[in-house]
């Protein structure tokens, strides 16, 4: 069922959280998604399509298009909007198994919470990355081609980079991460993208923090940034 673009009211957010914390049994109630007590429509005539997505990059592109006529600054921080969209796409974000059980995660991946963990939200994050970086962020949003629930989780690589906002908002850092941790032939993350030691995404984020004290790395050419990275990001990763 297609729905007009809307946002949860305070009452809608409360009811959505209650439903999740009670086990998210069955489908999200239609009245929670539609009734005036729980939702309010956003300006315009945008309709949210009920469609499946192959991966989080495709999802992000669709969200950018869906919200293109909205005030981008306003929607970016709209807790009611992102939480309502999570409710609309809940069957893809947290599908039920054959017994009707869901593998529920923390509330904040479905209901937008405090700003320091915005990057954990399963709907806002792909929108933000595609809006900010376009196709350069694809490697952060795709996983295995046989993943039965591709919208339900995000990668370790993305978690490590997005935990520091100055890293994930930087075109230079995303470009460097693409060179280090994705296969240029397929665009898929490499095996090293899941590492935790020397040359890992976690180390890249930490080193970036240090480099930012002496360099303007936000828009630095990627070739130059690669040259000032420590040796641990050497031939093994490039």
**What pLDDT, on the 0 to 100 scale, is given for residue 185?**
85
Same domain for 20 and 120, yes or no, is: yes
Which of the residues in the chain have pLDDT under 50?
236-238
Same domain for 118 and 12, yes or no, is: yes
| 7 and 115 together in one domain | yes
Specify whether 107 is located in the same domain as 173. Answer: no
> What per-residue confidence (pLDDT) applies to 192?
62
In the chain, DSSP assigns E strands to 3-4, 6-8, 39-41, 47-48
d(CA 191, CA 156): 11
Q: Are residues 30 and 65 in the same domain?
A: yes
Domain closes at, from 103, 134, 165: 134
Both tokens of residue 69?
Answer: 């006529």
Decide if 144 is inside a domain.
no
pLDDT at 197: 83
Q: In angstroms, rounded to a whole number, what is the distance separating the alpha carbons of residues 71 and 126?
A: 18
The span from the CA of 34 to the CA of 45, in Å, is: 15
Side-chain half-sphere CA neighbours of 62 within 13 A: 17
Same domain as 123, residue 168: no
Q: Which residues pair with 7 in a beta bridge?
A: 40
Residue 149 in domain:
no
Six-digit token string for 98: 């054959």
**Per the domain annotation, does 53 fall within a domain?**
yes
Q: How many domains does the chain have?
A: 2
Q: What is the pLDDT of residues 78-133, one digit of tens each?
A: 999 999 999 999 999 999 999 999 999 999 999 999 999 999 999 999 999 999 99
Q: Are 154 and 56 in contact (CB under 8 A)?
A: yes
Give me the pLDDT at residue 237, please.
Answer: 46
Whether this prediction's pTM lies above 0.75 is answered by: yes
């Amino acid at each position: 069922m297609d729905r007009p673009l809307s946002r949860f009211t305070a009452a809608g957010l409360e009811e959505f959280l209650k439903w999740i914390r009670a086990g998210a049994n069955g489908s999200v109630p239609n009245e929670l998604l539609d009734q005036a007590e729980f939702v309010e429509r956003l300006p315009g005539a945008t309709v949210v399509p009920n469609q499946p997505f192959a991966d989080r990059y495709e999802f992000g592109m669709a969200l950018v298009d869906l919200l293109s006529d909205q005030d981008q600054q306003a929607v970016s921080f709209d807790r009611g909007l992102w939480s309502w969209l999570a409710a609309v796409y809940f069957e893809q974000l947290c599908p039920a198994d054959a017994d009707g059980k869901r593998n529920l995660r923390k509330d904040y991946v479905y209901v937008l919470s405090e700003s320091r963990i915005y990057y954990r939200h399963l709907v806002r994050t792909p929108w933000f990355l595609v809006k900010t970086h376009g196709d350069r962020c694809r490697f952060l949003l795709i996983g295995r081609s046989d993943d039965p629930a591709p919208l339900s989780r995000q990668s370790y690589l993305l978690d490590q980079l997005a935990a520091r906002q100055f890293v994930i908002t930087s075109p230079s850092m995303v470009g460097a991460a693409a060179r280090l941790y994705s296969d240029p032939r397929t665009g898929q993350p490499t095996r090293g993208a899941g590492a935790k030691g020397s040359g890992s995404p976690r180390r890249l984020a930490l080193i970036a923090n240090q480099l930012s004290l002496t360099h303007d790395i936000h828009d630095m050419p990627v070739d130059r940034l690669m040259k000032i990275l420590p040796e641990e990001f050497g031939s093994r990763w490039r």
